[in-house]
Structure 1
Amino acid sequence: MLSTAFAPALRRAPFALRRPFSSTTSASSLLKTTALTRPLPATLRSQLLARGAASSVSGQPGSQTLGHAAQNIREELGHSASDLAKTIAAGNAYTDGVAPSNQTFLGITNSVAHSVPTPYVVFGLAGGIPYLGASGATVYLAHQAGMATQGLIPNMDPGVAITLLDQALNLQTTYGAVMLSFLGALHWGFEFAGYGGHKSYSRLLLGAAPVVFGWSTLALLPTSALIAQWAGFTTLWWADLKATGAGWTPKWYSQYRFYLSILVGSCIIASLAATSYWGPVGGHGLVSHDLQMIRAERKQKQPETEGIVKGAIGTVAAQEDSDNYVMIKHNEPKEESPKQEQQKQQ
C-alpha cells in the first residue's frame, strides 16, 4: 500500500532514485526521498541551470545560449592571455596582498614592468633606437634602389642606390651582432656577482655562446645574416626565460628581454620584407654586368637633356603628343644655284 501511494512521485524521480522499496524501508526515509523528488520552483530551477558545469572534470560552465557561449569565450581568452603573461614573466607574477590583484594580461604585465628599475628601462629603450633607425634606413633605401633600377628615379644611378642599401644592411647586421654579444655578457655579470648562486660553466657558456654566434653572422650575406640573427635573438630569449625561472636572473628579466626581442624581430622582418619586395641587394646575383645592362637600357629610354649640338640648328613645332613645345634639329644646308656660286667666286 505504501509503495502504491508513492508511485506518482517515483515516476517523476530521477533514474538513480528509482529503486524498489524493501520491507525494512522506514516512513521517515520515504518522506525524505519524496522531498528530493519534488519539482523545484521555476525561478530556482532557472538559476541552477543557467550555466551548469559542462564537465565534472574541468568544472567549466556549459554554453546553453549564445550569450553564455560569448561569455565563455571571453573568459577563456582572458585566462589564456593571463597565462601568456605569466609565461613571459617566467611565472613571476607580482600581486598585492592588500589590494585585489588584476589577473589579466595587462595587469600582470604592468605589475612586472613596474618592478623594473627606471634606469634599466631608459637605457634599454635608448639601446634599441640605433637598431630601429638602421632598419628604417634599410626599408627606405630598399625602396629607392628598387625605383632606381626600374628607371623611375632618373637622377639616381642604380649602382649607387644598391651600394647605399648594402651599407645600411651592414650597419643593421653589425649592430645586431653587438646586441647579441651584450645580452650574452649580462650572464657573465650575473655569474661574477653570484646572483642566485654561482653556476660556473653552465652560465658562462650561456654568456659566451651569443658572442660567437653574433660574430659568425657577419660572414654571411646581409639578408642571410638577418635571418640568422632573428633565430639567435629568439633562441636567446628562450634561454633567458629558462634562466629567469631557475632564479639565475632578476624576476623581471624575462619580460624585459621579451619586449626587446619583439622590437628587434619586428625590425628584422621589416627589413627582409622591404629588400624582397623592392630593392635588389648587392651580392645576390646583381653583378657589374647587370648594372651595365640597366644603365644602357636607361640611356636609350631617357632623352638627352643637356649637351652641345654642333652645326647649324633650328627649332620646329613639336607634335601634339610631345612633352615639349618645340624641337631642336639640325638645319640641312641648302643647295646653292650656279649663279650664287659664281658670285661667291668673284
Structure 2
Amino acid sequence: MNTLIRRTAVPRLARHALSRPLVSPLLFLKSRTVASSVSNRPASQTFEHTATNIKEEAGNAASDVAKIIAGSNVTRQDVVTPNNSTFFGITGAIASSVPKPAMVFGLAGTLPYVAASATTVYLAQEAGHAASGLATKIDPGVALTVLDQALNVQMTYGAVMLSFLGAIHWGMEFAGYGGQKGYSRLMLGTAPMLVAWPSLALDPMAALTAQWVGFTALWWADAKATSHGWAPPWYSQYRFYLSVLVGTCIIGSLAGTSYYGPVAGHGFLSHDLELTRELRRELSPESKHKIPGVIEAAPATMASGQPGFVTIKKRDVDAADKKD
C-alpha cells in the first residue's frame, strides 16, 4: 500500500512542479502591450493603433518635461501630488501651490524689464529708419541717445535681478529650510552676483548675452536645489517661467537691435563712427576742388614740335549722348 501511494504521489508532484511555472509567463505575456519577441510582430497593428501609441508617447514625453521643469523632486517628502500625470496636470498642480504674494511680486518685478526691452526694440527701429533717411516720429539724435539709455537700464536691472535671485538661497540658509547646508548653499547664492557685477563693465550687447547665460545656469542650479530639498517644491517651476520671460526679453532686445540697427545691423556706436568718417572725408584737403561727375581725357592742343599732353576735363554727358 505504501508502495502504491509513493508511485502515485511522485508523478503528481512531478506534474505539479512542471505545470506551475507556466502560469506566470502566460499571465505576463497577456498583460504586455508591446510586440512579442517570439512572434516578431510589430507593436502597432493598424494606423489607429499607431496614432494611439504616438499620442501616448507624446504625452509621456510632455509629462517628463513637466517633471524636469519642476525639478523632479525625487527626494522630497512634501511633493505636490497632481490630479493626473499629464503636462498640464503636473504644472497646474505645482502652480496652484505657489504662494500668491510670491507670484504677484515675481511678475511685477519683471515689468520694468519687459518695458526696457520693448523700448529698446522700438528705438532701434526708429534709429535704423533715421540712419536710412526715412521719415521717423522722433529725432535721430534723440532716438540714439534714448536707445543707449534703454540698453543700460535693461543691463543694470538684469544684473540686480540676477544678484537678487541668488541671494534668495542665503535667506533659505538662514531660515534653515531643508536643514543647514553651509558653504554649498551660500556659494550657490553668491555665484550669480559674480556673473552680474562684471557684466556691467561690458558693452550692453555683450552684457545682455552674459546675463542670459547667467539666468539659464541659475535656473538649472535652482532645479537641482529643489530636487534635493533646498527649496520649496514649487520653486523650480516658478523660477523656470520667470527665466523664460526674462530670457525672451533679452533675446528680443538683441535680435531687435541687430535687425533694426542704425547701420545695417550694427549698433549706435558704429553709426556715429560712420558719420564722423564721412564728415572727415568732406573736410580733408584731398576733397577740395573736387568736381563730381564723369571725367574724360582729351589730347591737348600744342604747337608743332612740343611734347604732347592730355587734358582731364568733365565730360558733357548731354552732348556726348547727342553725338552718339
Give the TM-score normalised by structure 2.
Answer: 0.69
CA offsets per residue over residues 55-80 of structure 1, 9 Å max, x none?
Answer: 66xxxx81111111111111000000
Contact 1:173 1:222 (C-alpha < 8 Å) held by counterparts: yes
Contact 1:163 1:282 (C-alpha < 8 Å) held by counterparts: no
Report the secondary structure of 1:152's partner residue: coil
Distance of 2:136 and 2:34 partners within structure 1: 71
Distance of 1:154 and 1:136 partners within structure 2: 18
RMSD of aligned C-alpha atoms? 2.9
Correspondent of 2:275 among 272, 277, 290? 290
1:102-113 equivalences in 2 (<5 Å): 102-113=84-95
Report the secondary structure of 2:271's partner residue: coil
For the pair 1:122 / 2:104, whether they are aligned, the reply is: yes
Correspondent of 2:44 among 54, 63, 71? 63
For the pair 1:95 / 2:81, whether they are aligned, the reply is: yes
How far apart are residue 270 of structure 1 and its match?
0.8
Runs of 4+ in 1 over 4 A off after TM superposition: 154-157, 281-284
How far apart are residue 157 of structure 1 and its match?
4.2
1:1-346 equivalences in 2 (<5 Å): 53-54=34-35, 62-92=43-73, 94-95=80-81, 101-153=83-135, 156-280=138-262, 282=267, 284-290=269-275, 293=278
Distance of 2:176 and 2:276 partners within structure 1: 57
After superposition, the Cα gap between the structure-2 partners of 1:52 and 1:288, relative to the gap in structure 1 and judged at 3 Å, is: closer
Distance of 1:65 and 1:284 partners within structure 2: 63
Contact 2:261 2:267 (C-alpha < 8 Å) held by counterparts: no
How far apart are residue 168 of structure 1 and its match?
0.7
Contact 1:240 1:254 (C-alpha < 8 Å) held by counterparts: yes
Unaligned runs of 5+ in 1: 1-28, 30-47, 298-346
Total equivalences in the alignment: 245
Distance of 1:53 and 1:210 partners within structure 2: 47
Contact 1:146 1:279 (C-alpha < 8 Å) held by counterparts: yes
Equivalent position of 2:24 in the other structure = none
Distance of 1:91 and 1:270 partners within structure 2: 30
After superposition, the Cα gap between the structure-2 partners of 1:279 and 1:181, relative to the gap in structure 1 and judged at 3 Å, is: same
How far apart are residue 124 of structure 1 and its match?
0.6
Letter matched to residue 148 of structure 1: A
Distance of 1:102 and 1:155 partners within structure 2: 53
Distance of 1:71 and 1:95 partners within structure 2: 26
After superposition, the Cα gap between the structure-2 partners of 1:254 and 1:55, relative to the gap in structure 1 and judged at 3 Å, is: farther
Letter matched to residue 80 of structure 2: Y
CA offsets per residue over residues 304-326 of structure 1, 9 Å max, x none?
Answer: xxxxxxxxxxxxxxxxxxxxxxx
CA offsets per residue over residues 168-213 of structure 1, 9 Å max, x none?
Answer: 1111111100000100110110111111111111111111111121
Unaligned runs of 5+ in 2: 1-14, 16-29, 74-78, 283-324
Distance of 1:288 and 1:221 partners within structure 2: 16
CA offsets per residue over residues 111-140 of structure 1, 9 Å max, x none?
Answer: 001111111111111111111111111111
Contact 1:158 1:291 (C-alpha < 8 Å) held by counterparts: no
Contact 1:195 1:249 (C-alpha < 8 Å) held by counterparts: yes
How far apart are residue 279 of structure 1 and its match?
2.1
Identity of aligned residues (%): 62
Contact 1:221 1:283 (C-alpha < 8 Å) held by counterparts: no
Distance of 2:81 and 2:101 partners within structure 1: 23
Distance of 1:118 and 1:55 partners within structure 2: 51
Letter matched to residue 205 of structure 1: M
Letter matched to residue 193 of structure 2: V
How far apart are residue 102 of structure 1 and its match?
1.2
How far apart are residue 94 of structure 1 and its match?
2.3
Equivalent position of 1:321 in the other structure = none
Report the secondary structure of 1:239's partner residue: helix
Whichever structure has more helix as a proportion of its residues is: 2
Letter matched to residue 95 of structure 1: T
Equivalent position of 2:6 in the other structure = none
How far apart are residue 288 of structure 1 and its match?
4.3
